[in-house]
């Protein structure tokens, strides 16, 4: 039974809707309403037919029976014929309802549901048609009411029409029905207009979003491409620069060795500056190469025990700076899945900065800790160094950005840029909080896998 019902529903729905419409069009919903109406009206029309047959027998009016059968057969054609257009089907249904209404009005007068049918047809038409048809239905109602007024006035009829109503009472009753029809036609379309506006807005926003998304994707692709080109460029340039630089250093060295005796103090100083400059240039190129390598040469993620990693790094810093040996502590660090070389570089840079940027009055202390959130590990590398003015919190992560001269602190300005790149490639962020004179805390997050 259930199967038959769902097959029946499916067929009617298919025959009474337009497959080309989509849910953002009012016409789609009007058609859905129409198909649902047809689906339920067919079984429900039995309820109307049984009393119709009874009435037609008791009142000896076979025309009532004929009208009932006209409506039911129209329903059946609408439901099961797949060749007639949906709009024509709607018109057929409305027309058959009008036929029944007129018959009911003529033969049953105020006993029958004729006037109620008039109002129902208008409500129905307002729901399933656009406004032009709804207004037409009010006009048709008006014409029907006027015609019946004439029938009563000129005493043309044979049915109970003339008996039931005097002209005045007909005008009073029917004008109220017309009034309600007008109200219906005025109000219900407002709802549909509002809905249509909402759908239009939704469509427009979706369209704009799609366009923006497409543009964004294009820009992202271009950006990625440019970035790749830039990294490749940096790699090639730094690689190629190393050779002439090596020659400058080696020939300067030879010059110094061979002519040290003949050269005066000034010339030796110049050679020293040239070699020192070449040495710094070499460090810059090394760091630039390191930067371009992050995520390029090494990208395979592995499980890393961070406690072991920090122990390893500690050995490298187990030397005295000034006459103070740095103290590096780490609390309960987790095991994470990440690119080992990159993560080592990250911790190395942050720890070495914590030890380097000191004013010499304190023993350098660097502590490393970690907290877990739902999706990330948040690490903190805290030192007791000179601190960083807040206006530089963002800038220090840029390539070559330094806050001090070489004579104050050695360095290339690449360390934090490398840290940022590593963190970004692990789906995280890096930032700093600091108090000048007291120390800095570098925070970074890494995505858990
Ligand atoms: P480098 O140390 O090679 O100069 P970095 O990129 O590591 O380059 O650091 C950029 C600048 O940020 C440094 O020149 C320094 O002024 C500042 N800085 C970095 N770390 C610290 C720190 N722990 N304490 C104070 N200043 C720091």
> What are the pLDDT digits (tens) for 36-79?
989 998 888 877 778 778 878 887 778 878 888 888 889 899 99
* Alpha carbons 154 and 274: distance in angstroms, whole number: 124
Q: Which of 381, 388, 387 is nearest to 328 (CA)?
A: 381
Helix/strand/coil percent split, the chain, to 5: 65, 10, 20
Question: How many Cβ atoms from other residues are within 10 Å of residue 429's Cβ?
Answer: 13
Structure tokens at 319: 């030397």
CA of residue 345 to ligand 1 center, whole Å: 15
State pLDDT tens for residues 111-125: 567 888 999 999 999
At the top level of CATH, the class of 298-447 is: alpha beta
Residue 448 CB contacts under 8 Å (≥ 6 apart), including other chains:
336, 372, 375, 376, 377
Task: Name residues contacting ligand 1 (CB within 6 A).
Answer: 349, 353-354, 357, 383, 385-386, 388, 396, 401-404, 411-417, 440
Relative to the CA of 413, which ligand 1 atom is closest?
8
Nearest CA to ligand 1 atom 18: 353
- Mean pLDDT value of segment 407-430: 92
State pLDDT tens for residues 363-389: 999 999 999 999 999 999 999 999 999
Residue that wins the pLDDT comparison between 61 and 448? 448
Pocket test for ligand 1, best of 346, 347, 396, 443 (most atoms within 8 A of CB): 396
Nearest CA to ligand 1 atom 16: 403
Q: Which of 442, 423, 425, 426 is nearest to 434 (CA)?
A: 442
Relative to the CA of 442, which ligand 1 atom is closest?
23
pLDDT exceeds cutoff 90 at 168? no
- Mean pLDDT value of segment 236-242: 82
Torsion angles phi and psi, residue 352, rounded to 5: -65, -35
- Mean pLDDT value of segment 390-411: 91
Cα 64–chain centre separation: 59
| Eight-class DSSP state of 391 | G
* Alpha carbons 198 and 192: distance in angstroms, whole number: 10
Point out the least confidently predicted range of 37-46, 190-199, 228-237, 401-410.
Answer: 228-237
Point out the least confidently predicted range of 28-32, 321-325, 440-444.
Answer: 321-325
Residue 164, pLDDT score = 60
Residue 389, pLDDT score = 95
Pocket test for ligand 1, best of 287, 353, 385, 405 (most atoms within 8 A of CB): 353
Question: How many Cβ atoms from other residues are within 10 Å of residue 94's Cβ?
Answer: 20
Residue 103, pLDDT score = 87
Residue 432, pLDDT score = 97
State pLDDT tens for residues 191-201: 888 888 988 89
Question: How many Cβ atoms from other residues are within 10 Å of residue 419's Cβ?
Answer: 25
Structure tokens at 87: 């709009």
* Alpha carbons 310 and 293: distance in angstroms, whole number: 22
What dihedral do alpha carbons 155, 159, 160, 162 form, nearest 10°? -10
Contact 425, 301 (CB under 8 A): no
- The residue behind tokens 């993560």 is 343
Residue 119, pLDDT score = 93
* Alpha carbons 258 and 267: distance in angstroms, whole number: 13
Contact 324, 363 (CB under 8 A): yes
Residue 159, pLDDT score = 59
Could you tell me the pLDDT band of residue 322, with boundaries at 50, 70 and 90? low
Residue 360 CB contacts under 8 Å (≥ 6 apart), including other chains:
322
Point out the least confidently predicted range of 101-115, 167-181, 202-216.
Answer: 101-115
Relative to the CA of 414, which ligand 1 atom is closest?
6
CA of residue 331 to ligand 1 center, whole Å: 24
* Alpha carbons 66 and 45: distance in angstroms, whole number: 14
Q: Are strands 365-372 and 327-330 parallel, antiparallel or unpaired?
A: parallel
* Alpha carbons 342 and 408: distance in angstroms, whole number: 28
* Alpha carbons 28 and 25: distance in angstroms, whole number: 5
Relative to the CA of 397, which ligand 1 atom is closest?
6
Q: Which of 348, 332, 344 is nearest to 304 (CA)?
A: 344
pLDDT exceeds cutoff 60 at 163? no
CA of residue 416 to ligand 1 center, whole Å: 7
Contact 377, 446 (CB under 8 A): yes
Mean pLDDT score of the chain: 88
Residue 150 CB contacts under 8 Å (≥ 6 apart), including other chains:
156
Structure tokens at 411: 């360095």
- Mean pLDDT value of segment 284-300: 80
**DSSP bridge pairs for 370:** 379
Nearest CA to ligand 1 atom 23: 354
Q: State the span(s) of the chain assigned CATH 3.30.565.10.
A: 298-447
- Mean pLDDT value of segment 252-262: 90
Note the helical H segments in 331-429.
340-356, 415-425
In Å, what is the CA distance from 106 to each residue of 57, 159, 180?
17, 6, 21
Contact 98, 121 (CB under 8 A): yes
């Amino acid at each position: 039974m259930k199967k038959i019902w769902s097959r029946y529903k499916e067929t009617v729905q298919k025959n009474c809707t337009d497959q080309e419409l989509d849910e953002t069009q009012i016409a789609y919903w009007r058609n859905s309403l129409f198909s649902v109406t047809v689906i339920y009206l067919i079984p429900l029309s039995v309820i109307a037919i049984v009393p119709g047959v009874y009435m037609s027998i008791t009142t000896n009016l076979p025309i009532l029976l004929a009208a009932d059968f006209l409506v039911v057969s129209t329903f059946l054609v609408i439901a099961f014929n797949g060749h007639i257009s949906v709009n024509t089907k709607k018109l057929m249904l409305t027309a058959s309802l009008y036929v029944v209404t007129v018959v009911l009005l003529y033969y049953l007068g105020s006993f029958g549901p004729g006037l109620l049918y008039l109002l129902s047809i208008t409500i129905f038409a307002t729901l399933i048609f656009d406004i032009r048809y709804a207004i037409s239905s009010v006009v048709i109602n008006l014409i029907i009411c006027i015609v019946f007024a004439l029938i009563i006035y000129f005493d043309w009829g044979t049915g109970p029409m003339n008996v039931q109503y005097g002209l005045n009472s007909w005008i009073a009753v029917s004008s109220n029905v017309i009034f309600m029809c007008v109200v219906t036609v005025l109000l219900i379309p407002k709802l549909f207009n509002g809905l249509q506006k909402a759908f239009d807005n939704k469509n427009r926003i979706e369209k704009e979003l799609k366009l923006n998304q497409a543009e964004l994707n294009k820009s992202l692709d271009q950006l990625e491409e440019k970035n790749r080109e830039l990294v490749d460029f940096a790699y090639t340039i730094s690689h190629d620069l190393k050779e002439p630089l090596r020659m400058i250093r080696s020939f300067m060295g030879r010059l110094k060795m061979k002519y040290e005796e003949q050269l005066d103090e000034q010339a030796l100083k110049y050679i020293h500056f040239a070699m020192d400059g070449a040495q710094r240039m070499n460090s810059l190129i090394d760091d630039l190469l390191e930067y371009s390598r992050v995520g390029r040469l090494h990208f395979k993620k592995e499980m890393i025990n961070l406690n072991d990693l920090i122990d390893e790094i500690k050995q490298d810093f187990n030397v005295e700076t000034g006459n103070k040996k740095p103290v590096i502590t780490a609390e309960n660090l987790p095991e994470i899945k990440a690119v080992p070389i990159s993560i080592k570089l990250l911790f190395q840079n942050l720890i070495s900065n914590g030890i380097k940027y000191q004013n010499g009055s304190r023993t350098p202390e660097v502590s490393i800790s970690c907290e877990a959130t739902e999706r990330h590990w948040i690490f903190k590398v805290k030192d007791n160094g000179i601190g960083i003015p807040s206006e530089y919190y963002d800038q220090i992560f840029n390539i070559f950005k330094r806050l001090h001269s070489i004579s104050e602190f050695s360095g290339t300005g690449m360390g934090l840029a490398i840290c940022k790149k590593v963190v970004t490639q692990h789906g995280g962020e890096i930032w700093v909080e600091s108090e000048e004179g007291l120390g800095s805390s570098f925070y970074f997050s890494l995505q858990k896998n």
